[in-house]
Structure 1
Amino acid sequence: MRTMHTSAKLKGWMQAMLAVLLTATLVACGGGGGSDNSSSNGSGTSNGLNGGSLPASPTQQPISPNASNTVPITVGPGVAGVINIPTVSVRICAPGSTTNCATIPNIQLDTGSFGLRVVGSAINLINPNLLNALPVSTIAGSGAQLAECATFADGFTWGSVRTALVTMGGETTTSSIPLQIIGDKAASTTPTSGCGNGSAENTVSDLGANGILGVGTAPTDCGATCANPATAANYSNYFACPNGIACSRTAVPLAQQVANPVASFPLDNNGVIVQMAPVSNTGAASANGTLVFGIGTQGNNQLAASNVFTTDAFGDLNNSTFNGTTVQAFLDSGSNAYFFGDGTLTQCGSQFAGFYCPSSAQTRTVTLVGLNKVSAVASIGILNAQTLFNNGSNYAFNDLAGQIGGNASFDLGLPFFYGRYVYYHLDQTASGGASPYVGY
């Protein structure tokens, strides 16, 4: 669902929320049915296959999140009853303080974006004294307050850029880092130009989470595009707000851009591993996993991927192919389904618009190709979305798919992560280090 770069990725976030709300109503009225944990090898209708077949599901189990470089991941109802949303807890503290802090639960884990964003109201519910203690960043020379409009496929978040110490598990950033506070600025200050399309997602209910933790391959959320005045004039996410109002687009140096917290950890700072437990082909009420910090820095985070693909700065595999067409493929935990264009798959009706509803189970393959010329065929399974949603108590699905605008992208969303270890190595080329890569 989440992406901080310019390629449009329809993620079906709002459709999924609607689907869950509708199916909850159906169950309350006596509709729906129980989850069937039958093997995908069957051919009956009770398991949704209807004569079709699904590829074998991966079976890796996450390690226990009890080491200092780990935190638990949870998929469940969360704060808004949205399906396939992995969440973690993040602790933030005022700069220089170890007591003026708040541990915020239900932060969406998103490997398709970069940087931490927290809804201001969620902070206030836990510690009303913290938000005002987080300094608002300012533009050098003018003193104007710095704000950001983070644009996603389904909407945008608007709020100030502030600094805080960030802790996850036993890992704390070496210093305060920039983060976005969502919704702390009046709606009237939202720029009328350059602030994306779609709806504002400045509340917990609109966002579907208390915030977003972007741990993809980039160390900051915009990079050179926003740091260079020539490109920032048209493409920057950032805005200078004199006296907090009259906000206009501005260039921002890398040090002031919303930062991927992992890059500021003292040790396990070169990437993450997302480990999710497998789930049944017909869905599960919940799912668990472990977010591991660092790759090859400790005994519990050694690289053991069968396929390692170097990527562009944003973690994309731009030379991949699907149905004979070159596509930009990406592995995105923030997407609640697989999303791709395929005119041979039946789309659901208006009740579940955006998702696929084939009459029988389907398998599709996409060939992933890295900049290092490594290629691998990834097989995904697809079941009828309406059949899956008929059990309103299930929130974790490994074979849910939907449509993306056009045929130029292939989004391997959270369903791809179940039963796998997925690796994201940060782009360290600016300091002479390793290129970014993803692997599984």
Structure 2
Amino acid sequence: MAAERTAGRHHRRRRQITERIGRTILRTHSTVVRALGALGVAAMAVLLAACGGGGGSSSSSSGGGGGQVAANQVAVTVAQGVQRVANIPTVSVTICVPGSSVCQTVDNVQVDTESFGLRLASSAMSQVLGSLPQEAAAGVPVAECTAFADGHTWGSVRTADVKIGGESAASLPIQVIGDLSPSAVVTGGCASGVLELTPADLSANGILGIGVATSDCGARCAVSPVGNSDYYACPGNTNCVQTLMPIAQQVTNPVPKFPSDNNGIMLSMPAIGPSGQATATGTLTFGINTQSNNALPGSATKFTTNPYGDVNATFAGSATTAFFDSGSNAYFFTDGTLANCSGAASSFYCPPSTVTRTVNVASYNASTSGAPGGPAVSMAVANATNLLANGNFALDDLAGNLGGAAFVDIGMPFFYGHNVYYGLDQSGSGGAGPFVAF
């Protein structure tokens, strides 16, 4: 039987919690910054897989993947991964002791376009962990508690040289998950929900947050009040209390730290059929309009987002927000007309036959709600229980119930057959604001 993770994480893997309900980490005040990123459906004997027929849009672009990759690219694989969970896109990341050739490559790191920063399970990087310097605040070692839609991660903040494909980021602050005891937190508490400390908890060896923000918390964790911070000062890595953390020392999206190809990313996945595929291979390309392989076509549909990657949306006649999240392994929205599955798949929808739901999207505008007349994104919804027997891990019509939350999580099923671009927020330095395009 499939054992299923709660919806919303997809840290799960997930988006960081920030100001959105149900989002995962990196979003600090949203409900889930990583928003629903890790929401994986863990399948033991049978995989709770998503169905086919995924998210179409007004764009004519088509995704691709596989084959030879360039220096600014890395292969993305959707397969059974570390725990037989559907729709978990992963890459390999190399971690090095700063300024040295002492390195370890970590496979099965989830690609999450709705969180920000690199987080790796301590058990997956044991060869170099002890040699990575720990970040400090006022001379005291620092750890972080990061909330996702389906739980939270806890561990030290360390510095490493990070290599992804042919791109490198020197002395990057990363979170090491599970290297400190959760009981070390003595004030401020940590995020509520499931504590995720191991690859089995994460359904991956880590999370590569490459959304539109450059750091995972920003000013909220850098200025008073300290009670809003996700960071903890841990003298002797015990007795941890909340602390402020300068933005430059916070867990950081690696992309803006690359010497070039550092203004955004493009995630490309091949189209798949209604029954899904056992595996799917795509590419993560760094940079936008910096090389011939990452040009943003004039025909692409482009939306300005808020600092966390949200866009305006209208769903089922109501104004809401939406986000495009490779860290969520299904579409997630609230629809009282669709029946939930029973048993282990109860967070997913089980219509008698495949149906379609549409969400209209538009550039983010805090003063104008909804997206009336905006381009439509079509989300296919198949019977999740019927898919359990397929044994496929790449699925494009799996959808789940948000339990009353209003936003729409346009998850991994949408990415099949699309090239999806994320422009980094460079407005703080006088550059372009954040956007998503496809």
- TM-score, normalised with respect to structure 2: 0.87
Deviation at 1:54, TM superposition (A): 9.4
Other-structure match for 1:76: 79
Structure 1 distance, partners of 2:37, 2:91, is 21
Amino acid in structure 1 at the alignment position of 2:300? S
In the alignment, which of 238, 244, 248 is matched to residue 255 of structure 1?
248
Deviation at 1:361, TM superposition (A): 1.2
SS where residue 327 of structure 2 aligns? coil
1:341-377 deviations in whole A, cap 9, x for unaligned? Answer: 0001111112311000001110111011113789311
SS where residue 147 of structure 2 aligns? strand
Structure 1 distance, partners of 2:343, 2:223, is 44
Other-structure match for 2:412: 414
- The answer as to 2:168 corresponding to 1:208 is no
In structure 2, relative to structure 1, the CA distance for the partners of 1:192 and 1:22 (3 Å cut) is farther
In the alignment, which of 276, 280, 294 is matched to residue 283 of structure 1?
276
Other-structure match for 2:165: 169
Q: Is the 8 A contact 1:160 1:185 kept in 2?
A: yes
Structure 1 distance, partners of 2:51, 2:152, is 37
Structure 2 distance, partners of 1:200, 1:86, is 22
- The answer as to 2:210 corresponding to 1:187 is no
Q: Is the 8 A contact 2:41 2:85 kept in 1?
A: yes
Other-structure match for 1:111: 113
SS where residue 243 of structure 1 aligns? helix
Deviation at 1:161, TM superposition (A): 0.3
Structure 2 distance, partners of 1:91, 1:15, is 24
Structure 1 distance, partners of 2:268, 2:55, is 22
Q: Is the 8 A contact 2:111 2:209 kept in 1?
A: yes
In structure 2, relative to structure 1, the CA distance for the partners of 1:239 and 1:102 (3 Å cut) is same
- TM-score, normalised with respect to structure 1: 0.87
SS where residue 146 of structure 2 aligns? strand
Structure 2 distance, partners of 1:371, 1:209, is 31
Structure 2 distance, partners of 1:402, 1:438, is 23
SS where residue 137 of structure 2 aligns? coil
Q: Is the 8 A contact 1:283 1:388 kept in 2?
A: no
SS where residue 292 of structure 2 aligns? coil
1:58-77 deviations in whole A, cap 9, x for unaligned? Answer: 85323745210000000001
In the alignment, which of 36, 44, 61 is matched to residue 21 of structure 1?
44
Q: Is the 8 A contact 1:15 1:352 kept in 2?
A: no
Structure 1 distance, partners of 2:437, 2:102, is 38
Superposed CA RMSD: 2.4
Structure 1 distance, partners of 2:51, 2:348, is 21
Amino acid in structure 2 at the alignment position of 1:8? I
Other-structure match for 1:436: 434
In the alignment, which of 262, 282, 286 is matched to residue 269 of structure 1?
262
- Structure 1 or 2, whichever has the larger Rg, is 1
Q: Is the 8 A contact 2:264 2:288 kept in 1?
A: yes
Unaligned runs of 5+ in 2: 1-9, 24-35, 366-370
Amino acid in structure 2 at the alignment position of 1:160? S
Unaligned runs of 5+ in 1: 27-31, 41-52
In the alignment, which of 348, 351, 356 is matched to residue 344 of structure 2?
351
Amino acid in structure 1 at the alignment position of 2:307? A
Amino acid in structure 2 at the alignment position of 1:144? V
Deviation at 1:100, TM superposition (A): 0.5
Amino acid in structure 2 at the alignment position of 1:371? Y
Structure 1 distance, partners of 2:37, 2:246, is 33
Amino acid in structure 1 at the alignment position of 2:41? A
Between Structure 1 and Structure 2, which shows a larger proportion of helix residues?
A: 1
Q: Is the 8 A contact 2:16 2:149 kept in 1?
A: no
SS where residue 44 of structure 2 aligns? helix
SS where residue 133 of structure 1 aligns? coil
Other-structure match for 1:66: 69
Q: Is the 8 A contact 1:55 1:363 kept in 2?
A: no
Deviation at 1:199, TM superposition (A): 1.4
Amino acid in structure 2 at the alignment position of 1:255? A
Amino acid in structure 1 at the alignment position of 2:423? H
Deviation at 1:405, TM superposition (A): 3.0
Structure 2 distance, partners of 1:428, 1:80, is 37
Amino acid in structure 2 at the alignment position of 1:433? G
What percentage of aligned pairs have identical amino acids? 48
Amino acid in structure 2 at the alignment position of 1:4? Q
- The answer as to 2:370 corresponding to 1:368 is no
In the alignment, which of 143, 146, 152 is matched to residue 156 of structure 1?
152
